[in-house]
Structure 1
Amino acid sequence: MSLFWIVIRQLAEIEAMAASKKVITREEWEKKLSDVKIKKEDMNKLVMNFLVTEGYVAAAEEFRKESGTEPDIDLATITDRMAVKTAVQNGNVEDAIEKVNDLNPEILDTNPQLFFHLQQQRLIELIRNGKIEEALEFAQEELAPRGEENQGFLEELEQTVALLAFDDVTECPVKDLLDISQRLKTASEVNAAILTSQSHEKDPKLPSLLKMLIRSQNLLDEKAAYPRVTDLSTAILEDPAV
Structure 2
Amino acid sequence: MPSQQKAKIYQQEWERRLHDVQVSKDDLNRLVMDFLVIEGYKSTAEEFSKEAGMDAPVDFDSIENRMNIREALQRGDVGDAITRVNDLNPEILDTNPSLYFRLQQQKLIEFIRQGQIAEALQFAQEELAPRGEESPEFLAELERTMALLAFESSPMMPSSVSELLSTAQRMKTAAEVNAAILESFSQGKEAKLVGLLRLLCWGEALLEERADLPKVCSVQSWNWLELTDE
Q: CA deviation at 1:166?
A: 2.6
Select which of 177, 189, 202 maps to 1:215.
Answer: 202
Query: In the alignment, is residue 229 of structure 1 matched against residue 188 of structure 2?
Result: no
Query: In the alignment, is residue 84 of structure 1 matched against residue 65 of structure 2?
Result: no
Aligned to 1:56: 41
Return the alpha-carbon distance in structure 2 between the equivalents of residues 100 and 37 of structure 1.
41
Does the 8 A contact of 1:49 with 1:205 survive in 2? yes
Aligned to 1:131: 116
Aligned to 1:67: 52
What amino acid is aligned across from residue 180 of structure 1 in structure 2?
Answer: T
Does the 8 A contact of 2:31 with 2:193 survive in 1? yes
Select which of 5, 13, 21 maps to 2:6.
Answer: 21
Does the 8 A contact of 2:92 with 2:181 survive in 1? yes
Query: In the alignment, is residue 192 of structure 1 matched against residue 146 of structure 2?
Result: no
Kindly report the root-mean-square deviation, in angstroms, between the aligned alpha carbons of the 2 structures. Answer: 1.7
Select which of 61, 64, 78 maps to 1:93.
Answer: 78
Other structure's SS at 1:171 match? coil
Return the alpha-carbon distance in structure 1 between the equivalents of residues 206 and 85 of structure 2.
43
If the length of structure 1 is used for normalisation, what is the TM-score? 0.84
Q: Bigger CA drift: 135-144 or 208-217?
A: 208-217
Aligned to 1:150: 135
If the length of structure 2 is used for normalisation, what is the TM-score? 0.88
Q: CA deviation at 1:110?
A: 0.2
Q: CA deviation at 1:24?
A: 2.9
Q: Bigger CA drift: 31-40 or 110-119?
A: 31-40
What amino acid is aligned across from residue 206 of structure 1 in structure 2?
Answer: L
Q: CA deviation at 1:70?
A: 3.1
> C-alpha offsets along residues 62-105 of structure 1, whole Å, 9 cap, x if unaligned?
21122223342111100011111111111100110000000000
Return the alpha-carbon distance in structure 2 between the equivalents of residues 27 and 162 of structure 1.
57
What amino acid is aligned across from residue 141 of structure 2 in structure 1?
Answer: E
Structure 1 runs of 4+ with >6 Å offset: none
What amino acid is aligned across from residue 105 of structure 1 in structure 2?
Answer: P
Return the alpha-carbon distance in structure 2 between the equivalents of residues 183 and 204 of structure 1.
21
Task: Using the aligned pairs only, state the percent identity.
Answer: 56
Size of the aligned set, in residue pairs, is 216
> C-alpha offsets along residues 50-72 of structure 1, whole Å, 9 cap, x if unaligned?
11001111111121122223342
Q: CA deviation at 1:192?
A: 0.4
Return the alpha-carbon distance in structure 2 between the equivalents of residues 203 and 221 of structure 1.
27
- Tell which structure's C-alpha radius of gyration is larger: 1
Q: CA deviation at 1:219?
A: 1.6
Return the alpha-carbon distance in structure 2 between the equivalents of residues 167 and 216 of structure 1.
46
Q: Bigger CA drift: 79-88 or 209-218?
A: 209-218
Return the alpha-carbon distance in structure 2 between the equivalents of residues 166 and 74 of structure 1.
46
Return the alpha-carbon distance in structure 2 between the equivalents of residues 122 and 98 of structure 1.
13
Other structure's SS at 2:51 match? helix
